[in-house]
Amino acid sequence: MDLSSVFSLDGKVALITGASKGIGFSIAEIFAAAGAKVVLSSRKQDTLDEMANQLKSKGYEATGIACNVGNMDELPLLVEKTIATYGQLDILVNNAASNPVFGPIHETSLEAFDKIMDVNLKAPFELCRLCFPHLRKSSSASVINISSIGGISPEQGLGIYSVSKAALISLTKVFAKEWGESKIRVNVICPGLIETKFSEALWSNEKIMSMLMKQLSIKRSGTSEEIGAMALFLASTASSYSTGAVFTADGGFTI
């Protein structure tokens, strides 16, 4: 059996949000290495161009398309540009996330609540809807939502963020149940403590890290590449019978 073909993304086109750094960029790089043509999206075009050029320098096919996913009016153009560039769409990764607050939930403003929900929940919902006509044409379409262990059990100081990620897990299951007949698989990854700039408020805090290490079976933080590898499994035919599933990558935190 040729296992290289099982994990190959040759001929596939992947759109990844929040892809200019951290987990999103690692997913883009791993997908590109597996043969996919990748569209990196985030808010700043110059940063995207720089990151896309990094991938191109390695012989990969990559394009950056700027989009603020929190602005619903920008999402249709993101999908249109992706199709205009590559003519198809096979894989959607909803990775972009926002968490402008860290502290007690009662101190979270309504403005912050709306921003978190717009980016973390409303954008994945709308992007899925917009991508549906293109994904259903694919021979092996896959949607991968990036949630969090906070979506399984609320994290201290990350109240509304945790609520948004719990809702994203539920949204994943709804799409998976309804899109099975269209041969579109929809799964969700719940990372634990991954050392990225986004999670710096956690891993840079000695008190929080000390508490976390007591709860982890694997006594370390994770890497964005480890999430990227799991995403490759879900994007490839290796996971062809998996949909609506919740995959944790958290060092055993949720055991």
Alpha helices, DSSP H, located in 95-150: 110-117, 123-135
Q: What's the CA gap between 38 and 29, in Å, rounded?
A: 8
Among this protein's residues, is 60 annotated catalytic? no
E-strand spans in 29-151?
Answer: 37-41, 61-64, 91-94, 141-146
CB atoms under 10 Å from CB of 93, counted, come to 31
Phi, psi torsion values for 4, nearest 5 degrees:
-60, -30
List the Cα angle 111/114/118 in 5-degree steps: 145
Q: Decide the pairing of beta strands 91-94 and 141-146.
A: parallel
Q: Catalytic residue, from 60, 86, 161, 241: name it.
A: 161
Candidates 147, 136, 214, 146; CA nearest to 180 is: 136
Which residues are known catalytic residues? 161
